[in-house]
Amino acid sequence: MISKIAMPFNTKIESQAHGNEQAIYINIQNIITKITDTRKSKLISDAIEFAIKAHEGQLRKGTSIPYVIHPLRVGLILSELGCSDEVVIAGVLHDTIEDTGTTHEEIEQLFGSNVAFLVQGASEPDKSDTWENRKTHTIEYLKTAPKDVLFVSCADKIDNNRETDRHLLEVGEEHWKAFKRPREQQKWYYESLAKVFISRIDDDVTNKLFKQFEQELKNVYG
């Protein structure tokens, strides 16, 4: 069972959570349950626990929502798509190398070389580089990346845009102030990714996922 005490809330125990915190806690638990009810792999449960601890204290940009809800939702998207356990695990862990102190070696030791490769493939190589260079690298890399890397990356972008859509309804254009680049540059990035994803469609699974991303993009940017 996933440790409740590891949940990244200021008040971490369910009985002490109130209002919106409690609703978020329940949402996170529901996502975990959906994944683990259909995926009985101990490694998936271990990955969820690992992600919860790795992202403890981190929040989604411009919100008070614990960051871990995002990689968990990415894992759920991949699980519901029917991806392998390794791809689901990589989805749950996809931000650990880029955004926490986790190393490629740790992921490889705990979850195997393929999961480590997929997480590395979903990570930007140099966070000190400019935003434009980092995003251009991602766009170019995904043009030839292995399909499982595409799955993880696309699920990540689907959830990002779903969250953006929800946050825009709540705060309007104030949403964009939390990001390093304004709306138009974000739009350029995601539309560039959409072109790459659509160009890589080669079966029913990629068609379903990549067209889903295209729709989420339209919901945000029109």
Rg (the chain; Cα; Å): 17
Alpha helices in 94-146 (DSSP H): 96-99, 104-111, 113-121, 131-142
Among 98, 106, 108, 124, which one carries the catalytic annotation?
A: 98
Is 98 annotated as catalytic? yes
The position carrying tokens 């070696």 is 105
- Nearest-angstrom CA–CA distance, 121 and 20: 34
- The answer to whether 191 is a known catalytic residue is no
Beta strands in the chain (DSSP E): none
**Residue closest to 73 by CA, chosen among 62, 55, 57, 117:** 55
Active-site annotation holder among 46, 56, 85, 99: 99
Q: How many residues does the chain have?
A: 222
Q: How far apart are the first and last CA of the chain?
A: 41
Helix (H) or strand (E) holding 210: helix 204-221
| Residue 27 and residue 69 in contact, taking contact as beta carbons nearer than 8 Å | yes
Q: Which residues are catalytic?
A: 98-99
